[in-house]
């Protein structure tokens, strides 16, 4: 992997000034909008990085593919698909996915909040604490047994306090029997999940397992079945960047997931995982400088799968 | 390319009985629902085929990526993107893409009827006849200078006579200034485009140019710029199978476009183009046995780009 | 009827400067925004007027209740209700009344464009010219056999030339079989109907027949069955002022219909009909000063039916 | 008031078999679908009744006009209108009143659940218990100081336990700052309000105050300002019967409010209030036999305000 990461970072740095920190989760407003970091990890185990790669941030929506993986591991593809759809909703991340009177689970998408909350209820565990801890364990495993990965309690409390839209979505799920459990317990798992913190290296490691047919980069130890990695990568491509997914596909052309914490995890099948961090967001909630950097990387390294 | 096409065809044949011929375009009801054909053309020029590969059918919506290619060739990416969006609409093929009072061109998608009609008006030409003939010439060029490709006049007349939903969509485009020309002229171009007829081999050839970075398979002569091929492949992946695109991505995992004439054109980047024909459709308007056959082929030949 | 019309007119005159002439029908832009006229006709035949009562204007949407009356006279209540609904749509005048794939006639409302176009096809006649002439004859009859009432050809041509949204709505009606006839012929009848011209006195006369249980004011000769008058008055109350109907009900409290030509026809059951003209419109397409004047009149004369 | 109530009741009795008890609030399933009662109270104090007039039932949505009255008494018309709209939504009773990202308070309607929940937060009181007790006191006052009117605790608990859709609606209101208080407290007031129990006589008394310009029937003592009565009657006419309001206006023609407890309160301005009870509902949630009975009464007594 030969690439002038520092130069590309410098080229994208000015874009950090054009984005905005998210205002609806108070704890995220404390981020430093000037941060920009990137890490590439190839399937054969080479790692290169530049910029603010050691800064911890909450993964937010990037936990959605991990939630989906855990649900797949616990239930298999058919059972998961019976509970949530896979079609693009054509709507923003916190959309209410329906216009009719009756909510159809097939209109949910696991990459959109409402679907991701439904996915929480598919994870196995005798309590939602246990479900969350199994998810956290999977996250650490995917990131190379990184025990430093844990919940940012400040972010968790902030999300829980301000998460009324997610409460509304969860009560709709409950109204239509898509979740049966106590709404606040399900949401507690979801809010904890969104508040999991890592850095660019962590995201690159997780993305690389998805790129590497479910195997650990370097060692090639199998972590998750290859068909689950492929399933997740397909959904990331069609829906990973919310209602900016179509634009991202034509401009960058790889499976990816963004989070309002400023992270982006990109998956280049059979080649590498990429972790990016830059907390100033565009209007659709995706890291602005981060998306630009991925666009440059894609052109330079010819990453597009299309 | 070693694959037992005949066996796979036999395995999918029973599915032809589960689909339905489309009822809303009278001429298409005359098709033979038992037909099933498949053709694979690799980027190095190898061609294998099985089943009803010589049967001609109208390409219908498969003309949408070709319309988009012609508009890209005539205007470049930026001008095309200023006129139509690229996001998944989350809606069926003939959806009215908006709920608000003012129609925003960025809510259009070139793979959905309304957007494709808008794309017709982006093609250069002093008349809509000329625009159509340039499109027809491009279609023949992509299919290896196949002069047999022409309009099925019976289908054209049937679409024109029954195309009231498309008229409604076109008048909405005109209401909001997205098209300025005479609606019936624009639609005449669109109806002609949908009635272009070819066979599985034709579709495989067109798909292979998209797979082969814009170059002719075998000769490797450049036909279209590689960035336009990539652009089209990205949109096919996110929106090519209408509101079944997400399902198709997880089950098959390649850029593809279906038409209600029963055709599917699939693109396996850097490897091959695939043409399939089977006119009995599923509820979303995609060839039922054809989709199954692509699923088998994807597993057998490991085609998924994810 | 003792009311200081001139004083109330003077009080409302300043509001004529706050509204806007409609821009989407070119011929209507030629109106004089300073015009303001009002006419009251009591069920016992007393007529008082003030301001610009002799100015002719096109009735536009005020023809909708007359279209509905003609359809009721030709088909009866049950047949009309089988073809159009009566519920408020909660949407603006030119709304596309549906979000689903299939358009249900019960989602149409005869006071909203799409429903009114459908109503045109319910009027009896061997041609749409004949249908229109029957409508025109009814309009004249309701206005006291006023033969001066006729089509403003300039407005008609302007509507026909610019009516693309209505064309879209009509083609949707045709798509779903709600109208079967040629779209341009149906619309020609509709555009002619909207271009019928009269003055405040004409509107007051028509409104007074609706107020007077279907009888001519003064003579008490029956013109239309009382149950049809009641049917129309009910729909005017729930939907006559578009998505401003709720506000109009609490502020004024009488059945009324506005048109973008600047007219308002109000019906005070058992008491009087009111015609108002002032072409500067509010954001919802209702005459701004006219609505204010009706509010004053309602308070002064205690007109509210609630 | 000369009317053969018993005969009309007998004529409508068979319709009680065509409706359904509501299934989504368990406590309401215990009702007796054969019940049918009616009470008329004229503005001059005459009361006639027939059928099951002594049976208590929960008023459910019929509390909405009383909630609105209390908010008007506490804040005046302008302040209430600044917090909730008055336009028909064209949607069922528990609709989510928006399709966009941002919820606009003007899209709320106080006769639809979401708007009614917002109205709860407009009632004055140091706690939601106090707010509810002020509402209960107003309800009793309107019903002629009827101290027997109180909460059915069984129904209250059932609504609270099953009210997840209302929770979703309330959390959306909170998300957009339309309510600021604790959602469960606001809902506790709302669930208590819906569980207020009375009988046909109580509904007729409340309706008669609205019919009688805010004065007590018989004594003519002023209870509420006449303009508030008029305001409520206007909203009942345009929106009181949910998405069946247009049909009710043409068939019956008086302001009215239904509740899923089987009650209907009708207001005949300047003439009478009517209370009806029959718990088997039609598809839109309105008492089926009750609506039929009102239609008969309207024809027989010429009640329509149109």
Q: How far apart are CA A146 and CA A139, in angstroms?
A: 8
B306 falls within a domain: no
C130 falls within a domain: yes
How much is the mean pLDDT over chain C? 93
Of the candidates A38, A42, A58, A64, the residue annotated as catalytic is A64
Contacts of B112 in chain C (CB under 8 A): none
Please judge whether A230 and B306 are an interchain contact, meaning their C-beta atoms are less than 8 angstroms apart: yes
Residue C75 structure tokens: 């088909």
Same domain? For A228 and A146 the reply is: no
Same domain? For C189 and C84 the reply is: yes
ipTM: 0.94
Last residue of one domain, picked from the residues D194, D222, D249: D194
**Which residue from D87, D231, D237 is facing C237, i.e. has the nearest CB?**
D237
Give me the pLDDT at residue B284, please. Answer: 85
Assess contact for B105 and B119: CB atoms under 8 A.
no
Residue B54 structure tokens: 């010589």
Q: Tell me the per-residue pLDDT of C249-258, one tens digit each, with 9 for 90 and over.
A: 999 999 999 9
Mean pLDDT along residues B218-236: 97
Same domain? For A169 and A216 the reply is: no
**Which residue from B86, B247, B249 is facing A250, i.e. has the nearest CB?**
B86
Contacts of C109 in chain D (CB under 8 A): 246
Contacts of A117 in chain D (CB under 8 A): none
Check whether C147 has a pLDDT greater than 70.
yes
D306 falls within a domain: no
Q: Tell me the per-residue pLDDT of B266-293, one tens digit each, with 9 for 90 and over.
A: 999 999 999 999 999 998 889 999 999 9
**How many domains, in total, are found in chain A?**
2
**Phi-psi label, residue C3: left if phi above 0, alpha if psi -120 to 50, beta otherwise:** beta
Check whether A96 has a pLDDT greater than 80.
no
Check whether B158 has a pLDDT greater than 60.
yes
Give me the pLDDT at residue B170, please. Answer: 95
Please judge whether A87 and B235 are an interchain contact, meaning their C-beta atoms are less than 8 angstroms apart: no
Same domain? For A134 and A209 the reply is: no
Mean pLDDT along residues D213-219: 96
Mean pLDDT along residues D161-173: 93
Please judge whether B306 and A305 are an interchain contact, meaning their C-beta atoms are less than 8 angstroms apart: yes
- Which has the higher per-residue pLDDT, B138 or D91? B138
How much is the mean pLDDT over chain B? 93
Q: How far apart are CA C134 and CA C136, in angstroms?
A: 5
Residue A256 structure tokens: 């990816």
What CATH number has the domain bearing residue C179? 3.40.710.10
Assess contact for B248 and B256: CB atoms under 8 A.
yes
| Catalytic residue positions of D, numbered | 61, 64, 190, 242, 260
Q: How far apart are CA C185 and CA C170, in angstroms?
A: 11
Q: Tell me the per-residue pLDDT of A188-224, one tens digit each, with 9 for 90 and over.
A: 999 999 999 999 999 999 999 999 999 999 999 999 9
Residue C298 structure tokens: 């309602």
Contacts of C99 in chain B (CB under 8 A): 99
Please judge whether B175 and C169 are an interchain contact, meaning their C-beta atoms are less than 8 angstroms apart: no
User: How far does the CA of residue B150 sit from the closest CA of chain C (Å)?
Assistant: 28
Contacts of A183 in chain D (CB under 8 A): 164, 167
Coarse DSSP helix, strand, coil percentages of chain B, rounded to the nearest 5 percent: 50, 10, 40
Give me the pLDDT at residue D40, please. Answer: 97
In terms of Cα–Cα distance, which of B52, B40, B103, B82 is closest to B297? B40
D neighbour chains, 3+ CB pairs within 8 Å: A, C
A97 pLDDT band (50/70/90 cuts)? low
Of the candidates C15, C156, C228, C242, the residue annotated as catalytic is C242
Structural domain boundaries enclosing C130: 62-194
Alpha-carbon radius of gyration of chain B: 18
Last residue of one domain, picked from the residues C194, C224, C240: C194
Same domain? For C44 and C84 the reply is: no
Check whether C47 has a pLDDT greater than 60.
yes
Give me the pLDDT at residue A101, please. Answer: 58
Last residue of one domain, picked from the residues C164, C194, C224: C194
Please judge whether D87 and C246 are an interchain contact, meaning their C-beta atoms are less than 8 angstroms apart: yes
Contact partners, residue B158, CB within 8 Å, separation at least 6: B25, B26, B27, B28
3-state secondary structure at position C300: helix
Same domain? For A126 and A242 the reply is: no
Please judge whether D168 and A169 are an interchain contact, meaning their C-beta atoms are less than 8 angstroms apart: yes
B104 falls within a domain: yes
Contacts of D305 in chain C (CB under 8 A): 269, 305-306
Q: Which residue shows structure tokens 């027939």?
A: D50
C306 falls within a domain: no
SS3 of chain A: the string is CCCCHHHHHHHHHHHHHCCECCCCCHHHHHCCCCCCEEEEEECCCCEEEEECCCCCEECHHHHHHHHHHHHHHHHHHHHHHHHCCCCCCCCCCCCCCCCCCCCCHHHCCCCCHHHHHHHHCCCCCCCHHHHHHHHHHHHHHHCCCCCCCEECHHHHHHHHHHCHHHHHHHHHHHHCCCCCCCHHHHHHHHHHHHCEEECHHHHHHHHHHHHCCCECCCCCCECCCHHHHHHHHHHHHHHCCHHHHHHHHHHCCCCEEECCCCEEEEEECCCEEEEEECCCECCCCCEHHHHHHHHHHHHHHCCCCC
Give me the pLDDT at residue A219, please. Answer: 95
D263 falls within a domain: yes
- Burial (0-12, 13-18, 19+ Cβ within 10 Å), C145: exposed
User: How far does the CA of residue A259 sit from the closest CA of chain B (Å)?
Assistant: 19
Mean pLDDT along residues C61-84: 96
Q: Tell me the per-residue pLDDT of B229-259, one tens digit each, with 9 for 90 and over.
A: 999 999 999 999 988 899 999 999 999 999 9
C neighbour chains, 3+ CB pairs within 8 Å: B, D
For residue A197, the cross-strand partners are A58, A150
Contacts of D91 in chain C (CB under 8 A): 90
Please judge whether D239 and C246 are an interchain contact, meaning their C-beta atoms are less than 8 angstroms apart: yes
How much is the mean pLDDT over chain D? 93
B61 is catalytic: yes
Check whether C287 has a pLDDT greater than 70.
yes
Element holding D150 (H helix, E strand): strand D150-151
Please judge whether D305 and C269 are an interchain contact, meaning their C-beta atoms are less than 8 angstroms apart: yes
Same domain? For C134 and C91 the reply is: yes
Strands, DSSP E only, in chain C? 37-42, 47-51, 57-58, 150-151, 196-198, 256-258, 263-268, 272-277
Same domain? For B74 and B171 the reply is: yes
Of the candidates A86, A112, A260, A268, the residue annotated as catalytic is A260
Q: How many residue contacts between A and B have a Cβ separation below 8 Å?
A: 100
Q: How far apart are CA D74 and CA B121, in angstroms?
A: 59
Element holding B75 (H helix, E strand): helix B63-83
Please judge whether C92 and B101 are an interchain contact, meaning their C-beta atoms are less than 8 angstroms apart: yes
Of the candidates A15, A42, A58, A61, the residue annotated as catalytic is A61
Q: What is the model's pTM?
A: 0.93
Same domain? For D55 and D203 the reply is: yes
Q: Tell me the per-residue pLDDT of A3-39, one tens digit each, with 9 for 90 and over.
A: 789 999 999 999 999 999 988 788 888 889 999 999 9
Same domain? For A164 and A47 the reply is: no
In terms of Cα–Cα distance, which of B11, B43, B16 is closest to B300? B11
Q: How far apart are CA C272 and CA C286, in angstroms?
A: 21
Q: How far apart are CA B64 and CA C55, in angstroms?
A: 53
Assess contact for D272 and D41: CB atoms under 8 A.
yes
Same domain? For D180 and D70 the reply is: yes
Same domain? For B145 and B188 the reply is: yes
């Amino acid at each position: 992997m030969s690439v002038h990461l520092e130069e590309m970072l410098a080229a994208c740095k000015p874009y950090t000034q054009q984005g905005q920190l998210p205002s609806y989760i108070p704890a995220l407003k404390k981020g430093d909008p000037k941060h920009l970091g990137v890490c590439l990890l190839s399937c054969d185990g080479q790692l290169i990085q530049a910029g603010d790669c050691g800064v911890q941030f909450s993964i937010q929506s990037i936990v959605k593919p991990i939630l989906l993986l855990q649900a797949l591991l616990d239930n298999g593809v058919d059972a998961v698909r019976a509970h949530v759809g896979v079609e693009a909703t054509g709507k923003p991340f916190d959309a209410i996915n329906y216009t009719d009177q009756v909510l159809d689970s097939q209109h949910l998408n696991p990459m959109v909040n409402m679907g991701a909350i439904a996915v929480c209820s598919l994870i196995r565990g005798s309590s939602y604490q246990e479900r969350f801890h199994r998810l956290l364990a999977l996250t650490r495993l995917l990131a190379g047994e990184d025990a430093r990965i844990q919940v940012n309690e400040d972010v968790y409390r902030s999300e829980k306090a301000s998460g009324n839209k997610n409460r509304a979505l969860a009560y709709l799920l409950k109204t239509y029997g898509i979740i049966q459990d106590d709404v606040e317990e399900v949401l507690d798992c979801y809010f904890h999940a969104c508040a999991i913190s890592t850095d660019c290296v962590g995201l690159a490691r997780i993305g690389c397992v998805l790129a590497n047919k479910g195997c650990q980069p370097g060692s090639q130890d199998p972590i998750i079945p290859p068909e689950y990695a492929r399933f997740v990568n397909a959904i990331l491509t069609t829906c990973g960047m919310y209602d900016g997914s179509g634009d991202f596909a034509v401009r960058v052309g790889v499976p990816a997931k963004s989070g309002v914490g400023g992270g982006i995890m990109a998956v280049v099948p059979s080649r590498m995982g990429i972790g990016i961090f830059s907390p100033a967001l565009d209007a659709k909630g995706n890291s602005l400088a981060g998306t630009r950097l991925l666009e440059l990387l894609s052109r330079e390294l010819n990453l597009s799968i299309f």
